[in-house]
A and B are shown apart, each in its own frame.
Chain A
Amino acid sequence: MTKNYETVMGLEVHVELKTKTKIFCNCANKFGDKPNTNTCPVCLGLPGAIPVLNEKVLDLAVMAGLATNCEISRVGKQDRKNYFYPDLAKGYQISQDENPICHDGYLDIETSQGEKRIRINRMHIEEDAGKLIHEEGLGSLVDNNRAGTPLIEIVSEPDLRSAEEVLAYLQKLRAILTYTNVSDAKMNEGSFRCDVNLSVREVGEEEFGTRVEIKNLNSFQSIQRAIEYETARHIKAVESEEELIQETRGYSQDTRKTYSMRSKEDAADYRFMPDPDLMPIIITDDKIKEIRKKLPELPDARKARYTEEYELSNYDAEQLTSSIEVATFFEETVKHGADPKAVANLIITEIFRLSSPEDFNINIPPAAFAETIKFVDSGRINLGSAKKIIEIIFENPEKTPESIIVEEDLEQINDRTLLVKIIDEVILSSEKAVNEYKSGKEKALQAVIGQVMGRTKGKANPQLTIDILKEKLG
């Protein structure tokens, strides 16, 4: 008899904060510059250079904490995490061991199973390390531009039970961080990174199974695949009574498998100690009040507003509010006079297809998007053509819906006489499908419609086509 297993997961999410300067020096906090141009004695760890905490980092961390229902610590300290790695100039990372800035928060997520609350254990500030670049012939080189980039690490409780929940949690977290302007939270640029702690146990069992930490997860797809792979590996091991070891595993996009990186026994002793260069962190009640005032409308509130104001479904509203870029795009489009439901549908089907979920680059102006939708409403083009227009503008932002309609000859055929003529021809040449439909097979009509669309290069008015067909075929 097969047993029922559940996957138990907790996440560690590293988020780069959107500050002008780095966490401990005045160097620019910028992605993509020439290597080692945004550096100084402090972030290069030169002898004698001392870090000074950028106050803006605290503000953003408190903002993130308040937005995720966390308690905010009034007194904090920063600790050194000691280890040798070539991208770590000082030989230690300044992080927080005890007394994180924020703790004991939660997020509510929505999945196909309904709503669920995921608890957040803690959120602390720390600095990012540099980056190693491996150059053929030159060996490994260090780029310290990223060294000293401010991060928050958000650690959840082990409340997650499926890849779907994990992705929903990450989407919600990402949404909150972009809404509050705490971070760009772009997975592909590394400003939003996730490690998954995973174990498997029988349903009903209270003890946790052997835990592994999965790293190198660069996309939502990788996260999903890694979770599925690891879950299967754990279940197989448990069933065959093989021993699982507590370890850190990496995920390879190429093999779509996880692999062992280091076991718990090999784990470094980080020798945490309070950083004596830095002073204790004090957060006053006034400071918290001041930041709370700056909190914008958060995803959950916006979602509720969308269901009410625009009468969208829970699911659609959740999707649209999943990032500030999308939500803003939605509202802008509606402002241009397009029907909210039509806008929602087209965003969820087309915009989500054209831009990756890790990085919502919406390469179409809201005005053009609204215009396209209005053309569908007025019957000038059909939905298929609308999708084509959106796709073309994504590639060629200088084009307008109007110019594309002309260039691509997308005007909808609304001329009844012309359509009747074409449909008559199709009925004659599609005897089989026509007969099937007549004998009660509703689906066969689709094949006939397809033929009509084919002959009109997709320009036939779909509703009119169906109406005529139904008249003709009884």
Chain B
Amino acid sequence: MNIKQKYLDYFSKIEKENEKIKAYKTITKTEAMEALENNKNPFPVVFADQISTKGIKTTANSKMLENYIPPFDATVVEKVKQAGGVILGKTITREFGVGKTENSYGTCAAVAHSENITGFSSGYKGLMHAGAQKNGLFAYIPTFGLISRYGLISVASSLDGIGIIAKSFANIQNALDIVTGKDEKDSASHSSDVDFSHLEDIDLSEQKVASINKLENFADVEEFLAKINVPIDEVTIKGLEYAMPTHEIISSGEFATNMEKFDGIGFGYRSEDYKNIEELYKNSRTEGLGMAVQQKIMFGNFVLSEGKYEEYYVQALKARTMIKENLEQEIKNYEFLIAPINLYYAAGFNLAGLPSISIPFGIEGLLITTRAFNDKRLLEFSKKIVSKLAGENSW
């Protein structure tokens, strides 16, 4: 089939159904058709509207940035474009990753809507795992630093990281090969010479796996894993019950200061109603930011304020270190930790900067983590499970 026709078909389907699926904030048909010219290896992608795209509106789904067009590409966008990626559009997110939205999982909805699309979205808090599970997709959040954060509009910089969403495992592998690696523009980024497209076949029965589940409704997943000979021990991660409040305090503190740049001066929404600079700030932010975003900013400023900083923020940083150390300890004993897809776990992995993958099956789905920079082994382990799930024994 003619490549152009294939993409025209994507767009006609998207244009017809976007109102229903609420996936796209901006559909970039013109840019996509241009990107097909002289493109030897075109593949369809979508980026969450929190990821900067040069010349294409990037709104973070907020009135604050409703007319903002970045003059630069996020590193991940740049790399994907260079590899032949054709951007179908910018997908709906929560406002600035945390606020009110018409669809919390716009990227997942876009990926689920058509064949073969790879989606890129913020891995913040592991929220994308829930969206992927809901839409029957794989979501992969690599080790913190494996993908450059440059150009991702931050919720909380130490918890931000770009994650990948796809219908097929192969698309996740391809995407990782393209977007991982050192970026001079992000000092947290790491070099990577891992070849993600060639995964080793492994013997599931030889893997060291522990379930850290404490919730109900995981029995079906555990039963399936037992059936395919995955040996599962049970361990408890001490302090994991503090992951959610710890995450809330740290992310809010970082969010509050990350959001200070939205002051109505250099870029973004500026209120028309002001008599002095104080009012310009106040009214621009009050009118330009949604209530949930404002609440998170308020909470963040509270935990950073004089007198509260030691009591909340510093305590949360200590709790984060504790959770990270406890997770790392168990990952030394067991290479893989499994859990149902739930923020209770995902937030913990996010705090520790560990990679995580969600495999959508059973009632709650399967979430797996491993030690930092052990991404390839995590993919090998997951892919084997997935192949068993599909009833394929071809490896």
Contacts and interface: CB of A to CB of B under 8 A. Distances in A.
Interface of A: 41-42, 44-50, 52-53, 80, 82, 84, 86, 89-92, 142, 269, 271-273, 275-279
B301 A48 contact: no
B306 A269 contact: yes
Contact of A86 (B149, B156, B265): B265
10 contacts: A44-B266, A47-B70, A48-B51, A48-B58, A50-B185, A86-B265, A91-B259, A142-B266, A271-B304, A273-B313
Interface string B291-323: 000000000010011100100010000000000
Contacts of B71: 41, 46
Given A48-B151, A50-B149, A277-B157, A271 B257 contact: yes
B260 A276 contact: no
B365 interface: no
Interface string B325-341: 00000000000000000
Contacts of B68: 47
B149 A89 contact: no
Nearest to A42: B185
A90 B184 CA distance: 20
A82 B281 CA distance: 14
A178 B68 CA distance: 44
A75 to B, nearest CB: 15
Interface string B99-122: 000000000000000000000000
Interface in B32-79: 51-52, 58, 60, 65, 68, 70-72, 74
Given A44-B266, A46-B267, 5 more contacts: A47-B58, A47-B68, A91-B257, A91-B262, A273-B253
B254 interface: yes
B366 interface: no
A47 B97 CA distance: 13
A27 to B, nearest CB: 13
Looking at chain B's contact residues, is the secondary structure mostly helix, strand, loop, or mixed?
Answer: loop
Nearest to B268: A47
A50 B186 contact: yes
Contacts of A275: 157
Nearest to A275: B157
B78 to A, nearest CB: 12
A86 B267 CA distance: 12
Interface of B: 51-52, 58, 60, 65, 68, 70-72, 74, 149-154, 156-158, 184-188, 253-254, 256-257, 259-263, 265-267, 277, 281, 301, 304-306, 309, 313
B266 A89 contact: yes
A26 to B, nearest CB: 9
Given A46-B72, A48-B153, A86 B277 contact: yes
A340 to B, nearest CB: 51
Looking at chain A's contact residues, is the secondary structure mostly helix, strand, loop, or mixed?
Answer: loop
Contacts of B51: 48
Contacts of B153: 47-48
Contacts of A276: 156-158, 254
Nearest to A41: B72
B265 A269 contact: no
A47 B267 CA distance: 9
Contact of B263 (A49, A84, A271, A273): A84
A271 B188 CA distance: 23
B221 to A, nearest CB: 34
A219 to B, nearest CB: 29
A91 B266 CA distance: 11
B314 to A, nearest CB: 10
B266 A80 contact: no
A48 B96 CA distance: 11
Given A41-B71, A91-B260, A279 B266 contact: no
A52 B304 CA distance: 24
A50 B262 CA distance: 15
Nearest to A270: B306
Given A46-B71, A47-B70, A48-B70, A273 B186 contact: no
A45 B261 CA distance: 7
A275 B187 CA distance: 12
A262 to B, nearest CB: 14
B261 A91 contact: yes
A271 B257 CA distance: 9
Given A46-B70, A276-B157, A52 B184 contact: yes
A47 B72 contact: no
A142 B153 CA distance: 23
A271 B306 CA distance: 7
A256 B277 CA distance: 29
Contacts of B187: 50, 52-53, 277-279
A390 B337 CA distance: 81
Contacts of B65: 47
A279 B259 CA distance: 20
Interface centre among B60, B187, B253 (most CB of A within 10 A): B187
A289 to B, nearest CB: 24
A273 B309 contact: yes
B83 to A, nearest CB: 20
Contacts of A273: 253-254, 257, 304, 309, 313
A273 B185 CA distance: 22
Nearest to A90: B261
Contacts of A89: 261, 265-266
A87 to B, nearest CB: 9
Contacts of A80: 257
